[in-house]
């Protein structure tokens, strides 16, 4: 069983950054909120801490921007927001992802 456990890790690795972008599409969000959304609502993050290096990379790529905002219930938080480039990257991923997923499903179903 162990030799196959890495499949999900690899699939997540490629898709997670686009899921982060998708979570930011409705509006800006802060790290903890994103981590909870991805791990508790969607089960895409095993360790919430692994989100932060990814957020840093997305910022470096120019796909998200950050800004400090006052919080009603605590210290100011760093909010992440999708940039125009990030929007375009997400759209490009969506265009590729749907036919790719359909192709994989088709192969799996046809050979059952």
Partner 1 sequence: MSTEKSKMSETPGQQLAEAYLRDLERALSGTDPREREETLAEIEDQLRDAEAVDPQGAEVRRVIDRLGSVEAIAAVASPDEHGTGTPAAVPGRQKDWFVIGTTILSGVALVTTFLFFPVAAVIALVTFVLGIVQLFTSRMGKVLPVLSIVFSAIVLVLVALAIIGLLAWQETDSSYEIIEDDAGEVEEGP
Rule CB under 8 A: say whether 89 interacts with partner 1.
no
Stretch near partner 1 under the rule CB under 8 A, chosen from 18-26, 71-79, 82-90, 101-109: 71-79
Could you give the CA distance from residue 37 to residue 60 in angstroms, rounded to a whole number? 22
Q: What angle do CA 100, 46, 90 make, to 5 degrees?
A: 35
Is 56 a binder of partner 1 (CB under 8 A)? yes
Which DSSP category does 4 fall into?
A: G
**Sole binder of partner 1 in the list 27, 43, 74, 99 (CB under 8 A):** 74
37 binds partner 1 (CB under 8 A): no
Whole-angstrom distance, CA of residue 24 vs CA of residue 34: 8
> H/E element holding 8?
helix 6-24
Is residue 42 within the footprint of partner 1 (CB under 8 A)?
no
CA–CA distance, 8 with 44 (Å, rounded to integer): 10
Binding partner 1 by CB under 8 A: which of 4, 53, 99, 112?
53
Is 15 among the residues that bind partner 1 (CB under 8 A)?
no
Query: Based on CB atoms, which residue is closest to partner 1, 19 or 35?
Result: 35
Interatomic CA distance for residues 17 and 31, integer angstroms: 13
| Contacting positions for partner 1 (CB under 8 A) | 13, 31-32, 35, 39, 46-50, 52-57, 59-60, 74-75, 77-78
């Amino acid at each position: 069983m162990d030799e196959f456990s890495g499949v999900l890790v690899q699939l997540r690795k490629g898709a997670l950054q686009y899921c982060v972008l998708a979570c930011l599409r409705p509006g800006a969000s802060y790290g903890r909120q994103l981590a909870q959304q991805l791990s508790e609502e969607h089960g895409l993050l095993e360790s919430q801490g692994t989100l932060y290096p990814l957020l840093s990379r997305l910022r470096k790529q120019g796909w998200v921007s950050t800004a400090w905002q006052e919080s009603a219930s605590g210290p100011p938080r760093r909010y992440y927001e999708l940039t125009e480039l990030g929007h375009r990257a997400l759209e490009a991923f969506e265009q590729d992802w749907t036919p790719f997923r359909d192709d994989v499903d088709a192969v799996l179903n046809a050979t059952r």
